[in-house]
Amino acid sequence: MTRCGVIGLSSGLLAVVAHASAGGHLPPLPHVLAFAAAVGWACGPLTDRQVGLGEILGLVVSVQVTLHVFLALLSRHPREPVTSPSMLLAHALATAVVVSALTGAERAVFRVAAVLASVLPRPLTPPPAVAPLRIPIAGHPEQPLSEVLRRRTVPRRGPPLLPS
């Protein structure tokens, strides 16, 4: 979950900085933190494996576009042109910075995890079962299925056999 928080904060805060540096409106901090938390929550399904450059790039680009629209809607002057060349350049630079930082951090985290996994002792686990466990149950002798079905469908008639 820490990786999701880092992705959310870094992409959210850098998008706000890029937006503000290109002349956009700076939103209140609670709005930015709420958006960063939403991004962190949305990347939760990516935490079970190492994320590559393509996935990080797609995530950060979608965050930049979404946050730009979010900030434009929160702007005090909604009739101003929202996408100027300086705004596009600022968001593109923010995307490049965040993607390169997150890709390097992702590689570093998994390298450290691999080193730690090779050094630390492994937890003791019981050996896997190689055959199914068979428990003998005292009971009736094995009978063919046809015999069992015959007994249930065609009951015997007549008096019981006399002891000899």
146 occurs within a structural domain: no
154 occurs within a structural domain: no
Through-space distance between the first and last CA atoms of the chain, rounded to whole angstroms? 81
Domain that holds residue 51: 2-119
Predicted confidence (pLDDT) per residue in 106-121, tens digit: 899 889 988 988 888 8
The whole-number pLDDT of residue 78 equals 54
The whole-number pLDDT of residue 48 equals 76
135 occurs within a structural domain: no
pTM of full prediction above 0.75: no
Predicted confidence (pLDDT) per residue in 57-115, tens digit: 888 888 878 877 777 777 655 555 456 788 788 878 888 888 898 889 889 988 998 89
Domain count, the chain: 1
7 occurs within a structural domain: yes
130 occurs within a structural domain: no
152 occurs within a structural domain: no
Residue 68 vs residues 11, 13, 81, 162: alpha-carbon distances, Å: 12, 12, 12, 97
82 occurs within a structural domain: yes
